[in-house]
Amino acid sequence: MPHRLAAALAAAGLVTAIAATPASAAPDRHGDKTLGRLAADTHRYFGSATDNPEFSDTAYLGILGSEFNSTTAGNALKWYATEPQQGVFDFTQGDQVLDFARRHHMSFRAHTLVWHNQLPDWLNNGTFTADELRAILKKHITTVAGYYKGKVYSWDVVNEAFNEDGTYRDTIFYRTLGPGYIADALRWAHQADPHAKLYLNDYNIEAIGPKSDAYYNLVKSLKAQHVPIDGVGFQGHLALQYGYPETLQQNLRRFADLGLDVAVTELDIRMYLPADATKLATQADWYARVTKACLAVRRCVGITVWDYTDKYSWIPAVFQGEGAALPYDENLQPKPAYAAIRDALRSAGGH
């Protein structure tokens, strides 16, 4: 059922829920195309992150598997999940998400190999020499990326390496190994899975500024040294109160002009609660603008929302008093943002 129609019927009290849309990102029986199908028409993906606890929610999975043509595991591939004890690897959660993606013909963005958050205690609390930590990092990357070799579209190899002012973030990796850990991580990931697209990924780099400049300079120098790097991921955790990142399109383009892919990897647009019609309209406009910015840059390969429904958004737990950040509400009903994204994709695809 087209979501507009369903929403209208729901508003009229005629139906209470949208039936799960048909499998694979194909036009549904009323001829409306899904976000995934519309993005595919422009040779891009429109994806949603997901997380393992959500796999018991069949209505949720119905929309995830039909509306989107890419997914990212929100937590399953983080270090604490994949190597909970030193040298003991666990891929059960990652496999659950990957299997779902494969069954629904969705591409899979793997997230993430090197990050300072959600590390296992043994790593956080340990004291390691540079040689020891280098060996630990190499083994982690080689084992995890090796296990998923040939099965993932891309890896976020290093996540959130810079501070807001463009200096290197003081993490266990930077502190112990120096800035060269980034090039090493990319090289090891490439050896483990030569066909995966390798990304650096961060937040607050949507606009041109000190932090995105730091990435620009880093990837330029990595390219000059022939370090394997394929793309930069712009997380896109936006908030209405901070204003729209006006230079997003220009910024995506300057990275693309370095010969890189770019992607919006964790898009959500939060607001102070309660939501109201005005805020939801502004949010919808921003979703459309981000979508159009990506569509305007040939090497912008796709957009991923950081889950698709407010039911499972990470925002309320982390940003007090904020939420309503995603294109579907807590009852899995599309919000104005959904139609705005769809219309933006449609106009680009020549529909």
Least CB distance from residue 75 to ligand XIL, whole Å? 5
* Catalytic residue list contains 160: yes
Residue 193 sits in the site that holds ligand XIL (CB under 6 A): no
Binding mask 102-141 for ligand XIL (x = CB under 6 A): ----------------------------------------
Give the largest CA-CA distance in the chain: 65
Residue 205: CB partners within 8 Å, gap ≥ 6?
A: 211, 212, 215, 232, 234, 235, 251
Residue 74 sits in the site that holds ligand XIL (CB under 6 A): yes
Give whichever of 37 and 83 is closer to ligand XIL, judged by the CB atom: 83
What tokens were used for 341?
């994204």
HSE-up of residue 340 (Cα within 13 Å, Cβ side): 19
Q: Return the residue nearest ligand XIL (CB atom).
A: 314
Least CB distance from residue 48 to ligand XIL, whole Å? 12
Give whichever of 36 and 236 is closer to ligand XIL, judged by the CB atom: 236
Closest by alpha carbon to 294, among 337, 339, 263? 263
Residue 304: CB partners within 8 Å, gap ≥ 6?
A: 45, 46, 47, 48, 49, 70, 71, 72, 109, 263, 264, 265, 266, 267
Least CB distance from residue 54 to ligand XIL, whole Å? 10
Please state, in angstroms and as integers, the Cα–Cα distance from residue 248 to each residue in 218, 245, 254, 289, following that order: 19, 6, 10, 9
Give whichever of 66 and 235 is closer to ligand XIL, judged by the CB atom: 235
Give whichever of 267 and 293 is closer to ligand XIL, judged by the CB atom: 267
Task: List binders of ligand XIL among 233-262 (CB under 6 A).
Answer: 235
Give whichever of 86 and 117 is closer to ligand XIL, judged by the CB atom: 117
Among 60, 216, 314, 338, binds ligand XIL (CB under 6 A): 314
Give whichever of 127 and 241 is closer to ligand XIL, judged by the CB atom: 241
Give me the catalytic one of 67, 83, 160, 206.
160
Residue 206 sits in the site that holds ligand XIL (CB under 6 A): no
Give me the catalytic one of 246, 266, 322, 330.
266
Q: How many CB atoms lie within 10 A of CB 166?
A: 17
Residue environment code for 257-271, b if the CB has 16+ CB neighbours within 10 A, otherwise e:
eeebbbbbbbbbbbb
Please work out the total of residues on this chain that contact ligand XIL, with binding judged by CB under 6 A: 6
Least CB distance from residue 143 to ligand XIL, whole Å? 20
189 residue type, one letter: A
Q: Do residues 194 and 155 touch, judged by C-beta distance below 8 A? A: no
Among 71, 75, 93, 291, binds ligand XIL (CB under 6 A): 75
Binding mask 265-294 for ligand XIL (x = CB under 6 A): -x----------------------------
By annotation, the residues acting in catalysis are 160, 266
List contacts with ligand XIL (CB under 6 A): 74-75, 159, 235, 266, 314
